[in-house]
Amino acid sequence: MKQVFNPFLPLTEYIPDGEPHVFGDRVYLFGSHDMAGGTSFCMKDYVCWSAPVDNLKDWRCEGVIYRRGQDPLNADLSHALFAPDVCRGPDGRYYLYYALDFVSVISVAVCDTPAGQYEFYGHVHFKDGHVLSSRAGEPYAFDPAVLCEGENVYLYMGYCPYPPRHLMEVPKTYTHAWVYKLAPDMLTIERGGTPVAPSYSNSAGTGFEGCEFFEASSIRKVGERYYFIWSTYYNHDLCYATSSSPEGPFKFGGRIISNGDIGFGGITKEEDCNNYIGNNHGSVENINGRWYVFYHRHTNGTSFSRQACAEQIEILPNGSIPQVEMTSCGLNGGPLCGLGTYPAGIACDLKSGVGTARGDIPHGGIHPYITQEGEDGSSSARLYIANLKDGAMCGFKYFAPAGAKNIAIWARGTAGGEFVVTDGKNIVARVPVSPAEGWTRFDAPLACESGAGVDGAVKAAFPLFFTYHGEGYADFLQFELS
């Protein structure tokens, strides 16, 4: 049985800042493009992935759709392609909006098909010809999002570091996310900007306190409501606000997801979160009648190797979106099968014996991290969890009971101890491990009589948590339920 994990693309593909869009009978994922062990954000050209709307287990790479050097402002390839968005314009063509890293210009490329070869089209500008954000006092141009309704086109953008500071020779404004109405030519500003969401510096009394706008603008229309989505100053979450108009005013709604599960299940502090946190960027999309949130997680112990994940969400009749947790099975349509072999790289929970951290993780220290074995782009490359030391835990959610009686793990390293496996309530196995230079299989029986979820008679989906106790460190490649 084919299944889809989180991350849902091949485990050695790194697509952050995901914007999913359904065009025709396929969903297309547009995003930035990181690499394993990258030294900065978005080091590669834009690629696109797509899947049939009725089979989210069948993603294919559409190839490179736009290269860094195609923008005339980047002829020397000194800049990276930051987070993009795509919409279908009034003329039926597809328009890709993006900003080169810290150039503060919104660029546009165009193509006749969603995932074909885009060609540079122009820079967003005012009617007098001057480019948006080229003059002092104009908002910083960053992370564009675009909405097209017939002849009406709306561009959202903004960047609000705190404390506000000048990042350019020409001083910019860092106070809000903004919306501009564009002409049908997709480039010319007809009116705006209009503030959409406040920053940390001016949120008092707005209802956005604690979830102020930082970056990662995204926009969707759901029924008669417009949803503006962004990443907050705290940087690990995606929040939303709603309005009856694309130009606002927008009312704060809540948090959709956190890449550390902060705000879910009673977790309120970073030190208590379920996973290592970093910046987040994504959006929501209706695919074949179901709503999903797309987001990204961090790997390789850096901020620069991010991977696309997704979870099913519910949009309630009153317009609210309850926060969802990170899982290992987001697009699978239900829990993973409780039999089979699973890569450790799909862990949705990961922490050391002293908790988690934010941002980069020094290798060789106390913290475990998901990393890649093999060269970036190699078909033989694979993910594993490195550096599990005493008290470190990795978790996988969720599995459907299937009568498994045995569990095996593949590990290597200097570890001398055991992995204690629980289903969140009970210890279901103790897997002894010993030092090994190469990947070595270690087995243990499952205690079915005590493990809710591992007995085929139990109907509830269950998680599996692996906690290492012992000396040295263990690298963890995969596990098998049989």
Which residues form the catalytic set? Answer: 17, 215
Phi and psi of 68, rounded to 5°?
A: -55, -45
Q: At 72, list the tokens.
A: 């005339």
CA atoms of 36 and 32, how far apart (whole Å): 14
Q: Residue 304 carries which DSSP code?
A: S
Distance from C-alpha of 286 to C-alpha of 94, rounded to nearest angstrom = 19
328: left (phi over 0), alpha (psi -120 to 50) or beta: alpha
CA nearest neighbour of 219 among 426, 20, 68, 453? 20
Residues 6+ apart with CB under 8 A from 363: 301, 369, 386, 387
Read off the tokens for 89.
């314009």
Cis status, amide bond into 362, omega within 30 of 0: no
For strands 85-88 and 94-98, give the pairing. Answer: antiparallel
Residue 387 token pair: 């550096």
Best CA proximity match to 183, nearest among 130, 112, 126: 126
Q: Which structure tokens are listed for 476?
A: 């963890």
Rg (CA), the chain: 23
Task: State the amino acid at position 416 in one-letter form.
Answer: G
Cβ neighbors of 322 (< 8 A, separation 6 or more) are: 254, 313, 314, 316
DSSP string, 152-163: EEEEEE----SS
What gap in Å lies between CA 310 and CA 96, rounded to an integer? 22
Parallel/antiparallel/unpaired status of strands 349-351 and 19-23: unpaired
Q: For residues 320 and 310, is the Cβ–Cβ distance under 8 A?
A: no
> DSSP assignment of 111-134, as one string?
ESSTTS--EEEEE-EETTSPBTT-
Sign of CA dihedral 150, 30, 247, 128: negative
* Closest C-alpha among 329, 228, 330, 237 to residue 281: 237
Residue 468: strand pairing partners: 419
Torsion of the alpha carbons at 214, 224, 97 and 198, rounded to the nearest 10: -20
